[in-house]
Amino acid sequence: MTFIRTTPSRAVDVTAVFPQLAPLARPATRLHPRPGAPTPHDSSIGGPLLWPADEPWPHCDAPHEGGGCLLAAVRVDQRVRARAAAHPDGTPGVSSRTPEEEAVLAQIDWDQERPDGPIPLLPVAQLYVRDVPVLRPPGQADLLQVLWCPFDHPDMYMPRTAVFWRSAAAVTDILTSPPESFDVEFEEYVPKPCVLAPEQVTEYPNPLELSKELREQLGDWGRWEAVDAAVDSSYAPFPESYYRSDLSVAPGWKAGGWPQWGYTDPAPRQCPACDTAMEPLLTIDTFEWDGSSRSWIPYEDQAAASSTGDRHRDMWRPTGVQIGSGYKQQLYVCPAAPEHPHIELMQ
């Protein structure tokens, strides 16, 4: 990794206030994606995959409607925007298309309809265990690859994902030009190529997953004040919100940890193959932070996050992905057998 991101320490040791939370601590890896040029040998979001040349590329066989964005045009637009974001001083010419990009657009038949047949999946995430040790792969695997179909699916109204585990050393001949979809439903379903700065953090459950008794204690501001904690007094009327936003679940793209809830209440997540309780694998987030989670902004991004221009937008939405109206797509895996089918939820 060529850069780092550092989450500020939490203002309060929440286990000093509520010792019952200590055994519920879970490790998570914040991925901190930032636009870049990853290779197949890097952990990445939206980058090229270490995919065997002799292994068929995955496709989606479901029926697909819509499709308002041609993938080739989306990729050109992403490159132009990436150059502009890399030169916030407004260097002349960086926001213009190159001759090669103009040639790509000139070759597009804008009236062409989507070819019949299955849709090739798009790379979403590639995570090496060396970078994201919170992963628990099956057997000798040391690489997680997540792809998705860039269309909404009626049963969940978000892209449908596919999960693959493999041994990186076993891939000796890499597929360099995988098939691509002709179009996508939304440009936000095409992740911008991002490099990662994985960082290990500790999380605690969302309040909705705690017992009624513990939630009532979280709501007692006197408990917080009694430990002489450096608590944010603006949360005094709503101490549970303080725990939720600042002390429990980290925002943004991450592996492992605890899931965030709010779009719905916690739902049963049982393995469809063996009925084991499933655990979070990957959170695909629209935002790296929002107005209620600013305490999680890495030190290295705080200056840019305080700006009001395009640079701020690029900081809090580096991948360009949007789930629903700004939600998260959570992938869950079976801890007993990670190769069992995964499940996914929107939150």
CATH classification of the domain holding 302: 2.30.320
Number of domains in the chain: 1
Global pTM? 0.94
> Which pLDDT value is given to residue 2?
73
pLDDT per residue as tens digits for the range 304-345:
888 766 666 678 999 999 999 999 999 999 999 999 999 999
142 occurs within a structural domain:
yes
Residue 67 has pLDDT above 80, yes or no: no
User: Does 1 fall in a domain?
Assistant: no
Other beta carbons within 10 Å of 26: 16
Mean per-residue pLDDT, 144-158: 94
Which residues contact residue 133 at a Cβ distance below 8 angstroms, ignoring those fewer than 6 apart? 29, 200
Residue 72, domain member (yes or no) = no
Residue 160 to residue 149: CA distance in whole angstroms: 6
Q: Give the per-residue pLDDT at 309.
A: 63
Instruction: Assess if residue 233 is contained within a domain.
Output: yes
Q: Is residue 9 part of a domain?
A: no
Query: Which domain does 230 fall in, by range?
Result: 14-67+114-346
Residue 100 domain flag: no
The verdict on residue 101 lying in a domain is: no
Q: Is 57 a domain residue?
A: yes
Q: Which of 85-99, 174-188, 295-309, 326-340 has the lowest mean pLDDT?
A: 85-99
